[in-house]
Amino acid sequence: MLPYMPFVNEYWPFIVTGIICYLGARFLYHSAVSWNPEKYKNRKNYRTPDEVAEIDADEFEDDVGQLDMSSALPWDLEHVSLDFNRLPVDETIRRSQEFYTFMNQRRTVRFFSRDPVPADVIRNIIRAAGTAPSGAHTEPWTYVVVSDPEVKRQVRDIVEKEEEINYTKRMGPQWTTDLKPLRTNWIKEYLTDAPYLILVFKQLYSFKEDGTKRIHYYSEMSISLACGILLAAVHYAGLVSLTSTPLNCGPALRSLLGRPTSEKLILLLPVGYPSPDATVPDLKRKPLEEILVEI
Ligand SMILES: Cc1cc2nc3c(=O)[nH]c(=O)nc-3n(C[C@H](O)[C@H](O)[C@H](O)COP(=O)(O)O)c2cc1C
């Protein structure tokens, strides 16, 4: 005799239906594989990144050879000597201190001068961002630089309309309260004052030379690293920027700028000189003891 199980007794029709659906789906999948093994070849051989890490290089080569796949980078990619200049230890210490002091002066600026900046400076800044590491060297980024006053005005219109809704409806009282000390609101003069707007798009995927889809591994992490280098490059060039990720504006800005649906807006960065009377909130950064764990 079966023990009394109230849950099973009450819900047995759902449990039985669930099991039948699961077995049916498995049966259909395996039938499909046996009818058309070519189509499912890659999926059968698919290994998770963890599994791939477990197998040794020779096995990996055999494995990929069987898959009949083209790699995103050339299969016979040459490996060359590293161009590396090893510095004396004192110089390494000096540089690390100097870089920290320099980066500690970077501030988010919300008041921009309309003074022009040479376009070559912005191009070099984008070149620097393009040196970021990326998952499997997929470089999943597109930087759109807007200097045309009319397009800047259209960007500002889109952002201000959405930001007004964000501040009054979407963000909620806690978020808007947290922002109060920063004195931000939905009026974004800097979007038309700054000589350049850099819009960073993440490419969700791209295409290989043979037309097959190129998977962008870890694209979120890759683009975030590139954005960090971008901010540092702006600062190093003697300019200022405002990191912004305007909520709900991505699709409208993407279509305004003619970018494909395979790209997602990650960052909107006004870049230029600060206005002469620019102010910044007097923020303190966490001390080393609070952000470092040494083991
Ligand atoms: C992901 C992200 C989104 C941000 N979005 C905005 C924004 O929409 N508007 C704004 O004025 N500042 C924005 N900021 C800037 C932060 O408020 C600023 O970095 C923070 O207050 C620290 O100031 P600091 O950059 O001068 O150190 C953003 C920063 C980050 C990292």
CATH (domain of 225)? 3.40.109.10
State if residue 108 touches ligand 1 by the CB under 6 angstroms criterion.
Answer: yes
Q: Kindly report the protein residue whose alpha carbon is nearest to atom 27 of ligand 1.
A: 107
CA of 220 to the centre of ligand 1 (A): 18
Helix, strand and coil content of the chain, in percent to the nearest 5, comes to 50, 10, 35
**CB under 8 Å to 73, separation ≥6 — which residues?**
136, 137
- Regarding whether 11 and 152 lie in a shared domain, the answer is no
- Regarding whether 254 and 199 lie in a shared domain, the answer is yes
Number of H helices, E strands in the chain: 12, 6
Phi first, then psi, for residue 244 (nearest 5°) are -140, 145
Domain's final residue, options 47, 67, 87: 67
Residue 88 lies in a domain: no
- Regarding whether 224 and 128 lie in a shared domain, the answer is yes
CA of 266 to the centre of ligand 1 (A): 13
- Regarding whether 171 and 250 lie in a shared domain, the answer is yes
Residue 78 lies in a domain: no
CA of 62 to the centre of ligand 1 (A): 48
CA of 281 to the centre of ligand 1 (A): 11
- Regarding whether 137 and 45 lie in a shared domain, the answer is no
Positions of E strands within the chain: 141-146, 196-203, 205-207, 213-215, 240-241, 263-272
pLDDT averages per 10-residue partition of the chain, 295 residues: 71 87 83 60 52 50 56 93 98 98 98 98 98 97 98 98 93 93 95 98 92 92 98 98 96 98 97 98 98 98
Dig out the tokens for 126 from the structure. Answer: 């984008």
- Regarding whether 62 and 110 lie in a shared domain, the answer is no
Residue 112 lies in a domain: yes
- The number of distinct structural domains making up the chain is 2
- Regarding whether 170 and 113 lie in a shared domain, the answer is yes
Residue 26 lies in a domain: yes
- Regarding whether 132 and 38 lie in a shared domain, the answer is no
User: Among 111, 223, 243, 268, which residue has the most ligand 1 atoms within 8 Å of its CB, making it the best to mutate?
Assistant: 243
- Regarding whether 278 and 212 lie in a shared domain, the answer is yes
Q: Please give the Cα distance from 111 to 242 (Å, whole number).
A: 9
- Regarding whether 58 and 117 lie in a shared domain, the answer is no
Sign of CA dihedral 121, 126, 132, 136: negative
Residue 149 lies in a domain: yes
Residue 170 lies in a domain: yes
Nearest to 203 by CA among 170, 226, 232: 226
Residue 188 lies in a domain: yes
Residue 90 lies in a domain: no
Q: Kindly report the protein residue whose alpha carbon is nearest to atom 10 of ligand 1.
A: 244
Residues 45 and 63 sit within 8 Å (Cβ to Cβ): yes
User: Domain range holding 161?
Assistant: 102-291
State if residue 104 touches ligand 1 by the CB under 6 angstroms criterion.
Answer: no
- Regarding whether 180 and 269 lie in a shared domain, the answer is yes
CA of 26 to the centre of ligand 1 (A): 49
Provide the pLDDT for residue 48.
53
Q: Please give the Cα distance from 230 to 246 (Å, whole number).
A: 18
Inter-CA distances, 249 with 165, 199, 271, Å: 11, 12, 19
Provide the pLDDT for residue 64.
47
Q: Please give the Cα distance from 134 to 47 (Å, whole number).
A: 21
- Regarding whether 271 and 183 lie in a shared domain, the answer is yes
